Amino acid sequence: MIERLLGNRLALAGAFVLCALLGASLFAAIQALVPGLGARGQGEYAMREWVLAHPEVLLESVERYNQKQSASADKAQAEAVAAAEKTLPAERPKLEAPYAGAWAGNPKGDVTLVAFMDYACGYCRASLPAIEELLKRDPNVKVVYREYPVLGPDSLVAARWALAAAEQDKFRAFHDALFATDGPSAANIEAAAQKAGLDMARAKQVAESKAVEGEIVTNHKFGQKLAMTGTPSWVVGGKLLYGMRDYAGLAAAVAEARKGK
């Protein structure tokens, strides 16, 4: 009961804040609802009493406002995704071409799954078992990993080292070792590099190279073109997917792409 009352009071407080922000327009709306309210200067007390007697009106207005904002955001996102998918045919050859050894599966697979990931992303880590299962169960799939560091400086450093590992054909070993840690700290990146068996001096040089920097810049440009707002994000055939996926979700996307061939 206490929680419910507290929740109602907080909601009502929020509604009054909204009321203050809306100002004259809200008064005009309530004035139309309440006969005889009169001019603003004369009717403020009456309006206050009416609102206190009918708080559900403010709560309903807040709810409708939130619904309208959410619907508007959903529509904008849907339009952005539709526009992004129109650009995919031209972008796919570049998207599906991996950087050095940053890929897995069948190099001649009939469907390529492109995964945009960040080593600090928990949803990316949670998606790894789905990718592994897909690779085990579908011998005609190729997975291309694109480094997409968006969660801070440590993510960027990790992405650079992952691409350096790809140069040594040890991408997967580094990738799996780093995701097995609690995040891309300097210590964890070094430990993952050691576990993957990297030539550390060479990897450090490559990680700081213009080629690696250019690859990350290119991936961010892809992300902008393809309406990616976070990780993981996926490209499967001519379709875009966003967020964590389980095996069934990835397998269904691959099957759909295969039908479209």
Torsion of CA 155, 156, 161, 163, to 10 degrees: 110
List, for residues 40-73, the tens digit of each pLDDT value: 545 566 667 777 787 777 777 777 777 777 666 6
List, for residues 214-245, the tens digit of each pLDDT value: 999 999 999 999 999 899 999 998 899 999 99
Arch. (CATH architecture) of 96-259: 3-Layer(aba) Sandwich (3.40)
pLDDT value at 157 more than 70: yes
pLDDT for position 173: 98
138 φ, ψ (degrees, to nearest 5)? -125, 100
pLDDT for position 62: 78
DSSP state of 108: T
List, for residues 184-224, the tens digit of each pLDDT value: 999 999 999 999 999 999 999 999 999 999 999 999 999 99
243 three-state secondary structure: coil
Pairing type for strands 111-117 and 233-236 reads: antiparallel
Which of 48-52, 119-123, 199-203, 254-258 is predicted with the least confidence, judged by mean pLDDT? 48-52
Question: Confidence class of residue 135 from pLDDT cuts 50, 70 and 90?
Answer: very high
pLDDT for position 31: 52
pLDDT for position 29: 52
List, for residues 70-89, the tens digit of each pLDDT value: 666 667 667 767 777 888 88
CB atoms within 10 A of CB 127: 23
Torsion of CA 21, 25, 31, 32, to 10 degrees: -140
147 three-state secondary structure: strand
Where do you find CATH 3.40.30.10 in the chain? 96-259
Cα–Cα distance for residue pair 179/214, rounded to 1 Å? 23
More confident residue, 201 or 1: 201
